[in-house]
Chain A
């Protein structure tokens, strides 16, 4: 018996992400994770859960100069995921409720997971 969970994936534009998350919050969804895959462009996946069913929203950002609005106005818990996006991938997230300005993850190399990582700070 193959156990495969149903995966619903909806593609959204980055300007709609804030109002869609506020909509989910009113319906009682729980924020599960914000995942990022970086190769030719940044692919972000926002996962929300209600009653054991998960819904994914997909946002695609260009490789050069990526800017993203924050969803901490609806989900305050997203500050950990968005600070991690800033520190590891170098994505510019605007409007964060709790901004660590690059000090959340203390690493010797800035943005190690980005397509062009910078050399370690001496």
Chain B
């Protein structure tokens, strides 16, 4: 039996922005009546192009934004109705990782200070054992030897290492759910694979759930158990097999726009192109052909 850790019910978030090419104001529904259940321990991916509202959804889940309409529920209770104790539980259970790890770490603090703040605030370890506690968490995200990383400032770390520190900081609280907003897009491919492996491992070993927000369908495919596709603030499709059986035209479009580095697909595309060249036809992007 699974239970829902977060539920979104008819959640709408409006922003006022300027209409293109004029000074007129217009209302944008960044999230538009979204219903979504996030189950305990599942890895749910939210994909969509820029402006589709996926980051707004993340902020709503983290209570960094409040819905204009509708309600976000934590274990069945609307966020505004949580009492003090429940609020603390929510703040521990639901953690966040962001796209740009350097901006989520204080540049003037060594990694040790950054992490100790969180540990002390939530009383995670006795002062005497604090350093060992932090070292253990850094080691468990693959930053080894941990002492080496504790003494460093964020600028002395690579992007992948910074992102791992951010993951370690989130994992210290033993959360049930990590909302990760584009955690991969600023990283090299080889590092992306490492971070994905790490997320997969954490999900398997600690049963922690993920809401993985990404524009990259390739990255998401290897890890997500369920995928929600967003367009214009709405979830147009959600399911387990959107890759094999996309139901919505927009999902199909997104899948077709993927570039592949798979040798077989490269061969298919190249032969398609040379065929087009030979017959003097303007080459269609093969991925857009039926």
Bound pair (A, B)? no
Residues of B whose CB lies within 8 Å of any CB of A are: none
Residues of A whose CB lies within 8 Å of any CB of B are: none
